[in-house]
């Protein structure tokens, strides 16, 4: 694709909030995704109706500007939560993981700047990557930090020309068996219980199993 290969959305600013139809119970597996000018897999930035209960597994992401990207900005409202991405292989990807809080424009001037989005309970596990420039860019919103960002069993081969591996601000999370070693914000010990709860309840704690499958 010229831009994002798969993009999950749920509405734009006040219109998405008013319509109130979240994107939920999505299962993506066994796909090969390439996006030279965007993300292999994107969440948002139009996510004002909410995105939750998404499971992604056994995917190949290659020759892309970013691998897995979560996007939002002030005025969106809504949420992105309870997302599990596992068993992914990345090759020749500029930035492996992105979560950014100042992405995208507004359709008009009617949006509420105090409608703060929420990004939390994100699990990235069992992921390998080769020819990666930047491991992660997690830039949250000061008034609404991204929380419970959980990264486990991840090994990325970073380009020797890269001077940094991770960029983090206004974010907190937990990491285990991650190389290169993530930033301090992703080493919060008391977040590990939240990460464990995501694994135990990948579809929101007993709701119906995933109904949308892309493969």
| pTM score, whole prediction | 0.91
Element (H, E) at 196: helix 192-200
pLDDT averaged over every residue in the chain: 91
Query: Given pLDDT bands bounded at 50, 70 and 90, which one contains residue 202?
Result: low
State the pLDDT confidence band at 214, using cuts at 50, 70 and 90. Answer: low
- Please provide the DSSP assignment of 166-190 as one string: EEEESEEEEEEEEES---GGG--GG
- pLDDT category, 189, cuts 50, 70, 90? confident
Closest CA to 6 of 60, 53, 48, 52: 60
Query: β-pairing, 51-71 with 39-43?
Result: parallel
Confidence category of residue 33, pLDDT binned at 50, 70, 90: very high
> pLDDT confidence of 197, banded at 50, 70, 90?
confident
pLDDT value of position 211: 42
Per-residue pLDDT at 204:
47
The DSSP result for 10-75, as a single string, is -B-HHHHHHH---EEEEEEES-EEE-TTSEEEEE-SSBTT-EEEEEEEEEEEEEEEEEEEEE-BTT
**In the structure encoding, which two tokens stand for residue 46, read together?**
């139009």
The pLDDT assigned to 207 comes to 40
pLDDT of residue 191: 73
Q: How confident is the model at residue 54 (pLDDT cuts 50, 70, 90)?
A: very high
- Higher pLDDT: 199 or 105? It is 105
The tens digit of pLDDT for each residue in 76-110 reads: 999 999 999 999 999 999 999 999 999 999 999 99
């Amino acid at each position: 694709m010229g831009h994002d290969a798969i993009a999950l959305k749920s509405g734009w600013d006040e219109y998405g909030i008013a319509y109130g139809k979240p994107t939920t119970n999505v299962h993506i597996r066994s796909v090969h995704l390439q996006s030279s000018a965007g993300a292999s897999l994107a969440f948002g930035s139009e996510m004002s109706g909410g995105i939750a209960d998404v499971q992604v597994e056994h995917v190949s992401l290659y020759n892309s500007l970013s691998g897995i990207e979560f996007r939002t900005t002030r005025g969106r409202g809504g949420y992105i939560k309870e997302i599990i991405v596992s068993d992914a292989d990345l090759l020749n990807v500029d930035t492996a993981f992105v979560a950014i809080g100042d992405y995208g424009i507004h359709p008009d001037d009617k949006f509420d700047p105090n409608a703060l989005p929420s990004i939390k309970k994100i699990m990235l596990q069992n992921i390998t990557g080769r020819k990666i420039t930047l491991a992660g860019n997690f830039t949250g919103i000061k008034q609404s930090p991204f929380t419970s960002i959980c990264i486990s069993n991840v090994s990325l081969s970073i380009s020797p020309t890269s001077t940094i591996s991770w960029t983090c601000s206004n974010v907190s999370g937990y990491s285990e068996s991650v190389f290169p070693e993530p930033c301090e914000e992703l080493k919060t010990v008391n977040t590990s219980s939240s990460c464990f709860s995501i694994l135990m309840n990948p579809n929101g704690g007993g709701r119906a199993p995933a109904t949308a499958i892309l493969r």
